[in-house]
A = this chain, B = another copy of it.
Amino acid sequence: MTVTAPAGFRAAGVAAGLKSTGAKDVALVVNDGPRFDSASVFTANRCKANPVLWSQEVVKDGTVRAVFLNSGGANCYTGPEGFQTTHAVAEEVAAKLGIGAIDVVVCSTGLIGLTNDRDQVLAGAAAAFDALDADGGDDAAHAIMTTDSVSKQVVVEGAGWRIGGMAKGAGMLAPQLATMLVVLTTDAVVPAGDLDTALRAATRVSFDRLDSDGCMSTNDTVTVLASGASGITPTPEDFTAALTQACTDLAMQLLEDAEGADHEIAITVLHAATEDEAVEVGRSVARSNLFKAAVFGNDPNWGRVLASIGTTSAQFDPADLDVAMNGVWVCKQSTPHADPATVDLKPREVSVTIDLKSGSERATVWTNDLTHAYVHENSAYSS
């Protein structure tokens, strides 16, 4: 499973004491080659964590040989000392592997504003190096969990090559350009430029369409590493399709494990003038606390859907909107249609379909409901 499924990769997950629970909190993923192509996308949040500031420089030349990840602290808004910790752990990993620190991506997750003990982090890196294993992907996937209740892993099979992946994320889950921490690996031969094109295409329709709670993280990082160990060069179309499948699978795992959620909600916008407008409309509904609280209460409150659509700049006629919930068209031409009582919202999976009647583009945005448990988890997180 996971990041060690493709040939040419080793990984590890160990407990370094960053989590007070004693659970695994440091992960390492190493590309043993023969190629070291990579691509990454990072959070669009302008307040970026120290590991993001570091890793943005690392990925510029398209070569990455290892990814170090820790949970138990986001190393965000921790100032120059925090940046030095990121730099030091990249140096430590590089020294152990006999490579340059500038080829080591660093990712951190956990509380913002918390300064991790540098010696503890460095000791964790050394322990992870010692534990590196061709079957270590599962340990690594567990070590990056924070409020996640399950680890998120994926394997997609190509023709003689594979893609593996792991992700973490359960809150502050409204990525733009990236989401949470995600490491993807492949043994296909994919030059860095093609890898970048494929990754941006894949994240645009997967992680970028996920908006669990409207809150954009400071640490979001998605990195893909290509070892070329299979010796096979897939077509760009085949590889992009497989990478999109892997990213979508991980995004759905994030959605299903979102903090406190009772429902997974897919909001599909049809007949938009542009794809961007379809996404804008979907996201406006995904960010309506009133709509999300209604779904929690199994209430097919389509009025709140229309009220959200009305806040966007998308093209549509306010008097001619259709809305379906779980396939029942409860609103046609902006007036009541089928009886909402026939909509059963008890199952976890909910679909909302909006027809803008303004063009031929479409998009789906995924979100969760707003629950007592969400409020509870996020009011008690740091205590």
Report the Cα distance A218→B203, complex, angstroms: 34
Q: Does A2 contact B (CB under 8 A)?
A: no
Report the Cα distance A61→B224, complex, angstroms: 63
For A46, what are the chain B residues with a Cβ–Cβ distance below 8 Å? 309-312, 318
Determine the residue in chain B with the shortest Cβ distance to A309: B47
Q: Assuming the A-B contacts A304-B215, A336-B77, A336-B78, are A310 and B378 also in contact, with contact meaning beta carbons closer than 8 angstroms in the complex?
A: no
Q: Is the CB of A216 within 8 A of B311?
A: yes
Q: How far is the CB of A333 from chain B (nearest CB, A)?
A: 7
Q: Is the CB of B213 within 8 A of A290?
A: yes
Determine the residue in chain B with the shortest Cβ distance to A219: B307
Q: Assuming the A-B contacts A299-B382, A376-B372, are A215 and B335 also in contact, with contact meaning beta carbons closer than 8 angstroms in the complex?
A: no
Q: Assuming the A-B contacts A77-B336, A172-B290, are A382 and B301 also in contact, with contact meaning beta carbons closer than 8 angstroms in the complex?
A: yes
For A334, what are the chain B residues with a Cβ–Cβ distance below 8 Å? 47, 77, 79
Report the Cα distance A214→B335, complex, angstroms: 24
Of A109-117, A184-192, A357-365, the segment with at least 4 beta carbons within 8 Å of chain B is: A109-117
Q: Does A35 contact B (CB under 8 A)?
A: no
Oligomer copy total:
2
Q: Assuming the A-B contacts A289-B378, A379-B297, are A47 and B310 also in contact, with contact meaning beta carbons closer than 8 angstroms in the complex?
A: yes
Q: Is the CB of A335 within 8 A of B372?
A: no
Q: Does A134 contact B (CB under 8 A)?
A: no
Q: Is the CB of A215 within 8 A of B378?
A: no
Q: Assuming the A-B contacts A214-B287, A318-B48, are A111 and B79 also in contact, with contact meaning beta carbons closer than 8 angstroms in the complex?
A: no
Q: Does A95 contact B (CB under 8 A)?
A: no
Report the Cα distance A208→B38, complex, angstroms: 47
For A336, what are the chain B residues with a Cβ–Cβ distance below 8 Å? 77-78, 113, 115
Q: How far is the CB of A181 from chain B (nearest CB, A)?
A: 16
Q: Which one of B76, B111, B321, B375 lies within 8 Å of A375 (CB-CB)?
A: B375
For A45, what are the chain B residues with a Cβ–Cβ distance below 8 Å? 307, 310-311
Report the Cα distance A329→B359, complex, angstroms: 51
Q: Which one of B213, B218, B372 lies within 8 Å of A372 (CB-CB)?
A: B372
* 10 chain-A/chain-B pairs, Cβ below 8 angstroms: A47-B321, A48-B318, A112-B301, A113-B302, A113-B303, A215-B288, A215-B307, A296-B379, A297-B378, A301-B381
